[in-house]
Amino acid sequence: MTNPSLLILPGDGIGPEVMAEVRKIIGWYGDKRGLNFDVSEGLVGGCSYDAHGTPLTDETMEKAQEVDAVLLGAVGGPKYDDLDFSVKPERGLLRLRKEMDLYANLRPAQCFDALADFSSLKKDVVAGLDIMIVRELTSGIYFGEPRGIFEEGNERVGINTQRYTESEIERVARSAFELARKRNNKVCSMEKANVMESGILWRAVVSEVHEKEYPDVELSHMYADAGAMQLCRWPKQFDVIVTDNLFGDLLSDAAAMLTGSLGMLPSASLGAPMANGRPKALYEPVHGSAPDIAGQGKANPIACILSFAMALRYSFDEGTEADRLEAAVEKVLADGVRTADLLGEEGVNPVSTSEMGDAIVAALEASL
């Protein structure tokens, strides 16, 4: 049997540093668990622009379509702020999402016990929090046409279009209901049906899918603004939240902060099953490229490492090994190992990116 294949795209800023720690974890699974991957590496974002004049080459795009899973670090940085929109680092990431048709973006927000004090919210509001945001990722206002900046009379007008087809809503709704069945069986769908026709359709289609295929799951609806408020007020009322591309972008950042640090949160972007039964998949941390701390060994590699845990679970059917990796992260945090982002202003003795990776490998080793 051939090994499953992984394409690693470390990207920009802290991407390469955090990905180096993921490679240690991948190495450990090969050595100690007989889980070997064929790993290849490529460029995405600003580093690809520097090398090739484009944030994603056709060759890398093709490779991403062929492999069993893509792991991505982060893209972007101030160096690229003045680039033409069409070659900005973010365009590389958006092209991957769109061409791989990764319509379901899973963003778990989980509060680790050891970090409950670290949230800006009160401890009892966040302790034990475990919610999953399912963000539609390949349509909506991110991709709708018409779009652009046009002349109208004697001024310019900027246009983006929110557009959703029934089938786009149906498939992401199914992803959310399927996930809910494996969790606490609750889905809350968020849109703005009070002001947007696309929201009216969203609500209707989610309700139809629910009625026909998932009547056993508890479904509720919320306007996205009220949902944002409820996320800050009492986040533990939620299990799975399903929402569109733009609302999901905003709500997932807010949910991320509930847990204390953006440096902790992984994501999986999944598409339709490939011929081998595995879903098209890309895994990436929710945090960005953090140019202010890049290259200093300060970054927290946990979000990227937990993204690999999601790959084990969702692409490779290795749920037990994913649990092992998540438990190793929890153990290390419980032991008080902290990167700088988990210490706050007065924090002393942070560990480096690579020391955090080593500690997690040691915890994996201890789990055998």
Q: Please confirm, yes or no, whether 249 is among the known catalytic residues.
A: yes
Which part of the chain contacts ligand IPM (CB under 6 A), choosing from 86-94, 199-207, 257-265, 310-318?
86-94
**Site map (CB under 6 A) of ligand IPM, residues 192-231, x = contact:** ----------------------------------------
Which part of the chain contacts ligand IPM (CB under 6 A), choosing from 90-98, 203-211, 214-222, 322-330?
90-98
**Using CB atoms, what's the residue nearest to ligand IPM?**
90
95 or 181: whose CB is closer to ligand IPM?
95
Which part of the chain contacts ligand IPM (CB under 6 A), choosing from 89-97, 124-132, 206-214, 315-323?
89-97
Touching ligand IPM, residues 288-317 (CB under 6 A): none
Residue 44 CB contacts under 8 Å (≥ 6 apart), including other chains? 9, 11, 55, 56, 60, 72, 75, 89, 92, 93, 96
Annotated active-site residue in 225, 236, 323, 358: 225
Touching ligand IPM, residues 226-285 (CB under 6 A): 249
Q: Is 117 annotated as a binding residue?
A: no
The site partner of 191 among ligand IPM, Mg ion, none (C-beta below 5 to 8 Å per kind) is none
d(CA 309, CA 116): 22
d(CA 139, CA 97): 10
What is the smallest separation between the CB atom of 288 and Mg ion, expressed in angstroms? Answer: 8
The DSSP annotation for 215-260 comes to TTSEEEEEEHHHHHHHHHH-GGG-SEEEE-HHHHHHHHHHHHHHTS
Q: Which two tokens stand for residue 45?
A: 């974002």
DSSP symbol at 352: P
11 or 350: whose CB is closer to ligand IPM?
11
Q: Please confirm, yes or no, whether 31 is among the known catalytic residues.
A: no
The CB-based long-range contact list for 204-212 (8 Å cut-off, 24+ gap) reads 205/166, 205/169, 205/170, 205/173, 206/169, 206/173, 206/242, 209/170, 209/173, 209/174, 209/177, 210/173, 210/177
What is the smallest separation between the CB atom of 303 and Mg ion, expressed in angstroms? Answer: 13
What letter represents residue 84's amino acid? D
* Number of residues lying near ligand IPM (CB under 6 A): 4
Annotated active-site residue in 249, 280, 283, 314: 249
Name the E strands within the chain: 5-11, 38-41, 69-74, 104-110, 130-136, 144-152, 155-161, 186-191, 218-223, 240-243, 266-273, 279-285
The site partner of 99 among ligand IPM, Mg ion, none (C-beta below 5 to 8 Å per kind) is none
Query: Does the footprint of ligand IPM cover residue 93 (CB under 6 A)?
Result: yes
Q: Please confirm, yes or no, whether 244 is among the known catalytic residues.
A: no
d(CA 64, CA 75): 16
Q: Is 77 annotated as a binding residue?
A: yes
The site partner of 170 among ligand IPM, Mg ion, none (C-beta below 5 to 8 Å per kind) is none
Q: Which of 294, 293, 329, 338 is nearest to 310 (CA)?
A: 329
Query: Does the footprint of ligand IPM cover residue 90 (CB under 6 A)?
Result: yes
Dihedral sign, Cα of residue 69, residue 337, residue 296, residue 24: negative
Q: Please confirm, yes or no, whether 335 is among the known catalytic residues.
A: no
Name the E strands within 56-202: 69-74, 104-110, 130-136, 144-152, 155-161, 186-191
The site partner of 206 among ligand IPM, Mg ion, none (C-beta below 5 to 8 Å per kind) is none
Annotated active-site residue in 12, 49, 68, 192: 192
DSSP symbol at 194: T
Counts of helices then strands in the chain (DSSP H, E): 12, 12
The residue ranges that bind Mg ion (CB under 5 A) are 249
Q: Which two tokens stand for residue 169?
A: 């809503």
Q: Is 293 annotated as a binding residue?
A: yes
What is the smallest separation between the CB atom of 264 and ligand IPM, expressed in angstroms? Answer: 15
Q: Is 292 annotated as a binding residue?
A: yes
Q: Please confirm, yes or no, whether 283 is among the known catalytic residues.
A: no
Place of tokens 């680092």: 89
Residues in contact with ligand IPM by the rule CB under 6 A: 90, 93-94, 249
**Annotation: binding site:** 77-90, 97, 107, 135, 225, 249, 253, 288-300
**Annotation: binding site for substrate:** 97, 107, 135, 225
**Annotation: binding site for Mg(2+):** 225, 249, 253
Active site amino acids: 142, 192, 225, 249, 253
